[in-house]
Structure 1
Amino acid sequence: MFVRDYMSTSPISIYSGTPIFEALNIMKKNKIRHLPVVDKGRLVGLITERDLLTVTPSPATTLSVFEMNYLLSKMIVKDVMKTNPITVGPDCTIEEASLIMREHKIGSLPVVEDDGLVGIITQTDILDALIRIFGLRKAGTRLVLEVSDRIGALADILAVVREHQINVIGVACREKENQRVQIMLRLSTVEPESLVHDLQKQGFEVKSVS
């Protein structure tokens, strides 16, 4: 579960002297919202669709539409791009990339290796990764249990699952209050009734089956 497995490789990039209207057209044509800015093979910035759509000459209120469009046509990416963008390497984990995006409130991360741009990973890529990790497109059952937060709890649950010869597609855990934890299992079965019965018999609290 590394960035290299989910990033867009060979991303479309532009140079800092690109007119902003041209950059916006590139985004619309390719249905993307983030463009790395590369000069002489080196990443120098990042520009987003929002950056381009919110560009306004100053003082805008004193300009006619013609004058405003004229000034915008003269602006280049260098005037509005984010310089020194936060980057990650291809061996960064998906979890780390998600945390970086969340903490810095950004929607993408250029991926750099050996000083060269090798990819870009976006919030959409992160969501696609989670969908694949949890096997949400695979037929099966979503089972949620609540147990005491103790060593071996998950192993005990999986032992019961193994007895029923059911494959585990995905696992997630969420801490609750009072030393409790919820465990979500994605299972490769559409008939979980006997497994649920045995889990309850073992004392596990089954909160949801879907």
Structure 2
Amino acid sequence: MSVQDFMTKDVVTVTSTTPIFDAIDLMKKHDIHRLPVIDNGKLSGLITEGTIAEATPSKATSLSVYEMNYLLNKTTVGDVMVKHVKTTTPDALLEDAIYEMRENNINVLPVCDGTQLVGIITNNDIFDAFLRITGYNAGGTRITLQITDDHTGVLAAITSLLAEKNYSIATIVVNPMELSTIIELQIESRSTDELQQVFEKAGYTVLSAVLTNNH
């Protein structure tokens, strides 16, 4: 899985000379919380709701409404943007992007191919990726198996068993634990009880077998 498979490609941007009020209007119009700043075709910064809030005079200020509006009208994106922006590349592993975001406590990474901005990936894109990987949006049956004797060929045996019974697998998630391995399968069938019996008869420990709905 690479960043380009999950990033937002249609990116709304501003320039460093864009007035703050215009940037705010763009965020509201597109229901987004941050905007990459592009100057001369290159990424030069990032502006977020947080950086705008920090630049806005507080209610405790002694400035009048007129003075505050005058000040904000003169403020541009370049005055308050984050200039040292962490980025990623479209062919980077999704896991690397997640790690970068976690390590730097940030919710967004602009995606650059060389000097050109080609997308943006946010925490919401990561959530969507997780839902897709786990097959959450696909209807069918979620089977959770506990494998205490993990060895080469376990997945092959499971897939062969399902193929023999003419069941189609939507997704497989393997979660290695300390004393066992948990395997979750999203199967394109609503025959939950039958599927549980298939695995139990084959000697597998079924932790759960639940019906999932399309979302």
Instruction: Output the TM-score relative to the length of structure 1.
Output: 0.89
- 1:104 to partner: Cα distance: 1.8
Letter in 1 for 2:192: P
| Aligned equivalent of 1:170 | 171
Change (3 A) 1:58 1:133: closer
Letter in 2 for 1:166: Y
Tell me, in whole angstroms, the C-alpha distance in 2 between the residues paired with 1:185 and 1:58: 52
| Aligned equivalent of 1:50 | 50
| Aligned equivalent of 2:204 | 204
- 1:9 to partner: Cα distance: 1.7
Question: 1:164 touches 1:195 (CA, 8 Å); kept in 2?
Answer: no
1:3-54 CA distance string (max 9 Å, x none): 2222222411111111111111111112211210011111011111222234
Tell me, in whole angstroms, the C-alpha distance in 2 between the residues paired with 1:65 and 1:55: 15
| Aligned equivalent of 2:182 | 182
- 1:115 to partner: Cα distance: 1.1
Question: Is 1:135 matched up with 2:135?
Answer: yes
Tell me, in whole angstroms, the C-alpha distance in 2 between the residues paired with 1:205 and 1:38: 55
Gapped runs of 5+ residues in structure 1?
none
Question: 1:35 touches 1:48 (CA, 8 Å); kept in 2?
Answer: yes
1:141-166 CA distance string (max 9 Å, x none): 11111112622333332232222121
1:45-82 CA distance string (max 9 Å, x none): 11112222342348963323332232222211112211
Tell me, in whole angstroms, the C-alpha distance in 1 between the residues paired with 2:122 and 2:63: 36
Letter in 2 for 1:159: S
Letter in 1 for 2:161: V
Tell me, in whole angstroms, the C-alpha distance in 1 between the residues paired with 2:11 and 2:56: 28
Letter in 1 for 2:140: G
| Aligned equivalent of 1:155 | 156
Tell me, in whole angstroms, the C-alpha distance in 2 between the residues paired with 1:76 and 1:171: 48
Identical amino acids, percent of aligned pairs? 41
Gapped runs of 5+ residues in structure 2?
211-215
| Aligned equivalent of 2:82 | 82
Tell me, in whole angstroms, the C-alpha distance in 2 between the residues paired with 1:13 and 1:166: 46
Alignment RMSD, CA only?
2.1
Question: 1:145 touches 1:204 (CA, 8 Å); kept in 2?
Answer: yes
Greater Cα offset, 71-80 or 49-58: 49-58
Tell me, in whole angstroms, the C-alpha distance in 2 between the residues paired with 1:64 and 1:181: 63
| Aligned equivalent of 2:64 | 64
Tell me, in whole angstroms, the C-alpha distance in 2 between the residues paired with 1:112 and 1:100: 15
Question: 2:143 touches 2:184 (CA, 8 Å); kept in 1?
Answer: yes
Tell me, in whole angstroms, the C-alpha distance in 1 between the residues paired with 2:105 and 2:156: 36
Question: 2:193 touches 2:209 (CA, 8 Å); kept in 1?
Answer: no
Change (3 A) 1:58 1:137: closer
Give SS of 1:8's match: coil
